[in-house]
C-alpha cells in the first residue's frame, strides 16, 4: 500500500488517502466536492493511483459523479476493497458492471442514487450475484420499482439463501418503494433463515400482501 497520506498527486482533486487503507472525498460533508465534469484522462489516472494504493475502504459519496467517471475510478480497484460508499452520486444501472470484479467486497452503500430506478433491476441484480462475499447492502432512498425490488431480493436469495443464522447480514431498503412484489420476494429470502441481523424497510410502500409475505417469511425462519 502506498505511504502517501492526504491529497494524492495523481488523483482527482478532492480525493485523499486516509489512514487504515482508505480513500475518501475531502470535505465529504458537502455535496459536489469533485466535479462531475472531470476529464476522462484524469479519472483514468486516478484509477491507476487507486490500483497502487490498494485501499480497503473507498468513500466516494456525495461527489455527483455519473456512470462513466465512476466506472473509470472503480476500474482501478481490486480484491483489497472491503467497503465502498457511493451515496448521492448520479448513477444509473449502466454503472453496475463496474462493481462486479470487486470480489472481496463486504459492504456496498448506494443510497440516494435515484437513477438506479431506471430499469427493472436486472443490471443491479446481476452485479450483486457476482459479489458473493457481500454482507451489508444499503440502497436506501433509491425509489426502486416493485419489479426492480423483486429482482434485487431474488439476487439476495441466491447470495444469502444458504448463509447460516449467525452470518450478521445487513439489508437496508428504506424509502425504496419495494411494494408487494418486493415484499413477497423478501419474504422468500427471510424464510430461508439466512442470518439477516438488520433489516430496514422504512417507507417501503408495502401493502397487505407484502406485509403478509414478510410475516410468513419471518415465521418460517424462526
Q: Which helix (H) or strand (E) holds 196?
A: strand 196-200
User: Do the Cβ atoms of 13 and 26 come closer than 8 Å?
Assistant: no
pLDDT at 25: 72
Tens digits of residue pLDDT in 36-60: 456 777 777 888 888 888 889 998 8
The CA–CA distances, whole Å, from 84 to 2, 13, 38 equal 19, 19, 21
Residue extents of the structural domains in the chain: 6-221
Give the other-Cβ count within 10 Å of 168's Cβ: 12
Q: What is the pLDDT of residue 30?
A: 45
CA distance 67 to 52: 23
Does domain 6-221 match CATH 3.80.10.10?
Answer: yes
pTM (2 decimals)?
Answer: 0.85
Q: Cα(64)–Cα(114) distance, rounded to whole angstroms?
A: 12
What pLDDT does residue 23 have?
Answer: 82
Residues 114, 83, 99, 179, Cα dihedral to 10°: -40
DSSP class of residue 121 equals S
Show the low-confidence residues of the chain (pLDDT under 70): 1-14, 19-21, 26-38, 163-166, 220-222
pLDDT of residue 129: 85
Amino acid at each position: 500500500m502506498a505511504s502517501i497520506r492526504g491529497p494524492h498527486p495523481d488523483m482527482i482533486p478532492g480525493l485523499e488517502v486516509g489512514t487504515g487503507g482508505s480513500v475518501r472525498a475531502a470535505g465529504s460533508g458537502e455535496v459536489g466536492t469533485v466535479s462531475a465534469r472531470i476529464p476522462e484522462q484524469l479519472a483514468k489516472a486516478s484509477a491507476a493511483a487507486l490500483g497502487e494504493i490498494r485501499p480497503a475502504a473507498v468513500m466516494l459519496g456525495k461527489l455527483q459523479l455519473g456512470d462513466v467517471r465512476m466506472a473509470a475510478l472503480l476500474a482501478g480497484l481490486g480484491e483489497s476493497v472491503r467497503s465502498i460508499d457511493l451515496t448521492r452520486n448520479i448513477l444509473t444501472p449502466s454503472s453496475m458492471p463496474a462493481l462486479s470484479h470487486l470480489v472481496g467486497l463486504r459492504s456496498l452503500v448506494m443510497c440516494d442514487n435515484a437513477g438506479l430506478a431506471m430499469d427493472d433491476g436486472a443490471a443491479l441484480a446481476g452485479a450483486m450475484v457476482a459479489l458473493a462475499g457481500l454482507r451489508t447492502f444499503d440502497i436506501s432512498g433509491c425509489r426502486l420499482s416493485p419489479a426492480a425490488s423483486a429482482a434485487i431480493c431474488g439476487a439476495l436469495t441466491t447470495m444469502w439463501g444458504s448463509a447460516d443464522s449467525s452470518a450478521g447480514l445487513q439489508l437496508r431498503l428504506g424509502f425504496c418503494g419495494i411494494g408487494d412484489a418486493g415484499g413477497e420476494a423478501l419474504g422468500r429470502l427471510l424464510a430461508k433463515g439466512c442470518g439477516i441481523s438488520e433489516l430496514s424497510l422504512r417507507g417501503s410502500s408495502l401493502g397487505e400482501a407484502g406485509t403478509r409475505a414478510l410475516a410468513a417469511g419471518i415465521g418460517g425462519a424462526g
